[in-house]
Amino acid sequence: MSKILRLNSKQADYKLQLDALLSRETDTGADVQNLVGDILADVKKRGNAALCEYTAKFDGWDCTTENMVITRARMEQAWKDVSQEDRDALQLAVDRIRAYHERQVQKDWMYTDDAGLSLGQKVTALDSVGLYVPGGKAAYPSSVLMNAVPAFVAGVEKIVMVVPTPAGEMNDLVLAAAFVSGVELGFAVGGAQAIAALAYGTETIPAVDKIVGPGNKFVAAAKRQVFGTCGIDMIAGPSEIVVVADGGHPEWLAADFLSQAEHDEAAQSIFITTDAGLIDAVDEAIEKHLQVLPRAAIARASVEAHGALILVSDFDEAAEAVNIIAPEHLELALDDPDAMLPKIKHAGAIFLGHFVPEALGDYIAGPNHVLPTNRTARFSSPLGVYDFQKRTSIIRSTPEGVAAIGFAAAHLAHREGLQCHALTLELRLAHNNKG
C-alpha cells in the first residue's frame, strides 16, 4: 500500500483532519512577495533593460529588445513544422473551445420601467489582454487555446502573449497553438518580469488592460501586486482534483487521481467513496501506475504530501466533503452522477460519469480549463468570455421619470449629508413644477 493519507468520516476528528489537509501552504511568503515587488518596480522604472537582465538571470539566455519578439511569421513557421497530427488536434480543440465560448457572449439590453426611465447595460470588449503561458517543467499549448480563444470570441482586438523560454528554447507546439488561436504578437519572456512588462509596458511590450493565464508562485505574486494597475483573471494555485466513485475500474480511477499530481509536487488529489474495498483497489492501482509514469517522482511527492483517500458513510457525506473542498476539478465517477449533481455547490468544473476523465476537459471538450483553485471555487468561476467583456450601465429619463422618483433620491442625498447631490435633483424637480 502507498503512503497516501486515509480518512474515515466516522472518525471523531474527521473534520479536523480534512481541514488540515486543505490548509496546505499554496500562497507566497513575504520573501517571494518582496522579491517580486523589487522586480516589478525595476521593470517599471528601466523597461527593457531590466526585463532582459532578469530574463538572462532566471531563464539563462541573452535576451535583447530584438530577439525577445515572437512574430506572427515565427508562429506560422512553428505551425508548419509540427506534425499533421498536432495540427489536427489543435484545430479540433480551437473549434470546440470557440463553439462553447460563443454561447457565453453577453449582449446589450434595455428596458423601460413604470416610472418612465429607460435602463440598460452596454457590453464592451476589453481593448487589450496579456496572455501568460506557463513554461518550465512542461509546455502548455492548451493554455494558449483556453485563454486566447475566448478573448477573441469576446471581441478583444489586441492579444499579447508572453512565454518563458528557458535557455532560449522556444516550444513549437506552444507557438503553433498561438498561430491557430489567432495571436499576432508574442514575447519570449516569463516570470514576474513579464507580468511587470504587461502591466506597465516597456519600450517594446505594450501595457495591457488585463493579464490572464497561470504561472508559478512568482507569477501569482506578481499578478496579485499589479492588480489595480490592470485587471487579472485569478490567482492560480497548484492544481487539484477530487474523484468521487461508486465503483468502476480501479486503474481508471487511480490514473484520474494521479492526473493532477503529475503537474506539480504541490498539487492535490483526493479520492472519495463509500466502498472500503474500492479504496484498497485504487490504492494498489496508484502504486502500479507510479512504477511506470515518466513523471512519477513529481506525482508521488504530491499525493504523499497532499493527497487523501476518504471513506464516507454515504454520498450525502461525499457531497458535503466536496463542497468543503471546493475543488478545481471534480469527477463524479458514478453510475448516476445526475443524482449527486444538484448537491454540488462548489467546484470549478464537474465531469459526469465513468467515461469523462478530467483530461478531456483540459484539452478538447470545449469548456475552459482555467479554473479556480485553493477553494476559491466557493466564489469564483472558470475563465470565460465574460472575463474579456465589461459592462456599462445606461440610464435615460424623461422629466416625468425624474418627477416620479427624484424626491426620494433627493431625500436620501440629504440624509447622507450630500446637499449638492440633492440640489441637482431639486433644480430639475422645480423646473418640472414650473412647466
9 in any annotated domain: yes
64 in any annotated domain: yes
What pTM does this model have? 0.94
427 and 361 share a domain?
no
415 and 335 share a domain?
no
Residue 426 domain boundaries = 397-434
95 and 9 share a domain?
no
245 and 217 share a domain?
no
Domain boundary among 199, 232, 265: 232
Calculate the average pLDDT of the chain. 96
384 in any annotated domain: no
161 and 278 share a domain?
no
What is the pLDDT at residue 135?
A: 77
What is the pLDDT at residue 296?
A: 97
299 in any annotated domain: yes
144 in any annotated domain: yes
36 and 17 share a domain?
no
64 and 17 share a domain?
no
Domain boundary among 232, 257, 284: 232
> How many Å apart are CA 34 and CA 45, to the nearest integer?
17
413 and 342 share a domain?
no
248 and 213 share a domain?
no
40 and 189 share a domain?
yes
382 in any annotated domain: no
What is the pLDDT at residue 53?
A: 97
312 and 252 share a domain?
yes
Flag whether pLDDT at 434 surpasses 80: no
Catalytic residues: 328-329
Torsion of CA 192, 193, 195, 197, to 10 degrees: 170
> How many Å apart are CA 249 and CA 240, to the nearest integer?
21
41 and 20 share a domain?
no
To the nearest whole percent, how much of the chain has pLDDT over 90?
A: 92
Domain boundary among 197, 232, 267: 232
C-alpha cell of residue 432: 418640472
387 in any annotated domain: no
415 in any annotated domain: yes
Assign 224 a pLDDT band (cuts: 50, 70, 90): very high
Domain with residue 271: its CATH number is 3.40.50.1980
Q: What single string gives the DSSP state of each residue in 118-183? A: EEEEEEEE-SEEEEE---SSS--HHHHHHHHHHHHHHT-SEEEEE---GGGPPPHHHHHHHHHHT-
> How many Å apart are CA 205 and CA 295, to the nearest integer?
35
Q: pLDDT tens digit string along 345-365?
A: 999 999 999 999 999 999 999
The domain tally of the chain equals 3
What is the pLDDT at residue 435?
A: 60
